[in-house]
Structure 1
Amino acid sequence: MTTYHGSVKVGGTPAVRELAHLIITKIAVGPYDNDCYLLRCRATGEQLLIDAANDPETLLTLFSDGLGQVLTTHRHADHWQALDAVVAATGATTLAGRFDAEEIPVPTDRLLADGDTVTVGRVELAAIHLVGHTPGSIALVYDDPQGHPHLFTGDCLFPGGVGNTFGDDAAFRTLLDGVEEKIFGRLPDETWVYPGHGNDTTLGAERPSMAEWRARGW
């Protein structure tokens, strides 16, 4: 079995992580090096795509045998450029945070709030609502019963800091407070973080830097 590394490039080979109950496939698409994640339940084969960011032709090769759901982590256009084409090709149900959905041009079938459960076959994930990068960003956590948690953060948490708040100090504080309370305050250091761009990280790798993030203001 190939060791999962979480480092992918546009036009490159997807990275695949095989858990006991869930298979995670990570792929990068251009032009903004967005990371997209396909979650597949081992028991049922049901699938969910996190962020149909761009390049639908590439994304469609990941789930030629069907796609049940697409979750858009937030309203920014680089995370939904392929959504219309993917939904048209698959008939997938769309999910997004209730406070971002109106800004996503493809209708949202299910509006998500903090704590909602997202089911992929027999696998359950929990939605985490985070405010600051956008009003309705949604992170998604899978607490693997046979391992550590797996956290899909969209653009709210990256290696080295929280997401861009575009110079808005209040938004930065709100986002960092939310990330501190709902993510670092609840999940262990072993939690693997899958961001919306770039390489993966863990909460343990990032936790020591939180005071520095707060002090620098971004």
Structure 2
Amino acid sequence: MNELLLNDVTVRWVSVSDMANNVYLVTNRKTGEQLLVDAADDMQAIERLIQAASEDASDPRIIGIATTHQHWDHVRALADAVEKYPVPTYAGADDVAGIAEESGVKIDHALNHGDQLKLGDVTIEAIHLRGHTPGSIGYALVDSSGQPVVLSGDSLFPGGVGNTWKDPQRFLSLLTDVSERIFGRFPDETKVLPGHGDSTTVGAERPNLEQWRERGW
């Protein structure tokens, strides 16, 4: 289990399943409001994650469940999570139908680029990153410490963008969105928390953008 402690929020995450999916929990340290991101698998592990955050605020409580994209490995525990925590659900508008097909969960709020979720006084912004799936969403926040954080789903990893299955059009779409909407906007110290594996920063990846473009993946 991992954690990122900031002024306004705590971000905790746990890796689940044989695909090393990351499940994230964002807690507003002042109000206790929490957003669960990507109920990927293993509800028991998710419950342990939630328990680990029990001391991050005086009255911690989940007020929303968000999904980064429609792929099955990111929604295997979504139905169980919604049953346990009957709170509003969020996902990219163009992936809502796919999430319903994969998980049986009808998303309450279909997000478009720039839409906002509120955890008390903390704003989480939806960043549409087209290419890995049509409706892939990154979730971005900026803490009062000045530390930006992007939960990038499967759209950005250490070493490259997400899988676009050797489709040049999808790759160009994803690279363009990542370049403009993450690298073009957020500073080098921005933490990038992906859907699988290790975290990185915008600064660590920025020098490699042209190399990614040249190699085509």
What TM-score, normalized by structure 1, do the two folds share? 0.91
**Pairing of 1:1-218 with structure 2 (within 5 A):** 14-63=1-50, 66-105=61-100, 106-218=105-217
1:57 shift after superposition: 1.4
Give the helix-richer structure, 1 or 2: 2
Could you tell me which runs of 5 or more consecutive residues in structure 2 were left unpaired when the two chains were aligned. Answer: 52-59
Distance in structure 2 (CA, Å) of the matches to 1:213 and 1:126: 26
Distance in structure 2 (CA, Å) of the matches to 1:29 and 1:35: 6
Distance in structure 2 (CA, Å) of the matches to 1:175 and 1:31: 26
Counting matched residue pairs gives 205
1:162 shift after superposition: 0.2
- Kindly indicate whether the alpha-carbon contact (under 8 Å) linking 2:8 and 2:144 is maintained by their aligned counterparts in 1: no
TM superposition outliers: structure 1 runs of 4+ over 3 Å: none
What TM-score, normalized by structure 2, do the two folds share? 0.92
- Kindly indicate whether the alpha-carbon contact (under 8 Å) linking 1:60 and 1:86 is maintained by their aligned counterparts in 2: no
CA RMSD of aligned residues (A): 1.0
Which moved further from structure 2: 56-65 or 131-140?
56-65
Distance in structure 2 (CA, Å) of the matches to 1:67 and 1:125: 15
2:26 partner letter: L
2:30 partner letter: A
2:43 partner letter: P
1:100 shift after superposition: 0.3
Distance in structure 2 (CA, Å) of the matches to 1:167 and 1:92: 37
- Kindly indicate whether the alpha-carbon contact (under 8 Å) linking 1:53 and 1:78 is maintained by their aligned counterparts in 2: yes
- Kindly indicate whether the alpha-carbon contact (under 8 Å) linking 2:183 and 2:206 is maintained by their aligned counterparts in 1: yes
SS of residue in 2 equivalent to 1:174: helix
1:47 partner letter: Q
Structure 2 residue aligned with 1:7:
none
- Kindly indicate whether the alpha-carbon contact (under 8 Å) linking 2:13 and 2:49 is maintained by their aligned counterparts in 1: no
The superposition leaves residues 81-105 of structure 1 with CA deviations (integer Å, 9 ceiling, x where unpaired) of: 0000011011121100000011112
- Kindly indicate whether the alpha-carbon contact (under 8 Å) linking 2:14 and 2:45 is maintained by their aligned counterparts in 1: no
Distance in structure 1 (CA, Å) of the matches to 2:176 and 2:131: 10
- Kindly indicate whether the alpha-carbon contact (under 8 Å) linking 1:66 and 1:90 is maintained by their aligned counterparts in 2: no
Could you tell me which runs of 5 or more consecutive residues in structure 1 were left unpaired when the two chains were aligned. Answer: 1-13
Distance in structure 2 (CA, Å) of the matches to 1:68 and 1:215: 42
SS of residue in 1 equivalent to 2:62: coil
- Kindly indicate whether the alpha-carbon contact (under 8 Å) linking 2:32 and 2:61 is maintained by their aligned counterparts in 1: no
The superposition leaves residues 119-164 of structure 1 with CA deviations (integer Å, 9 ceiling, x where unpaired) of: 1122111110011000000001111221221111000000000000
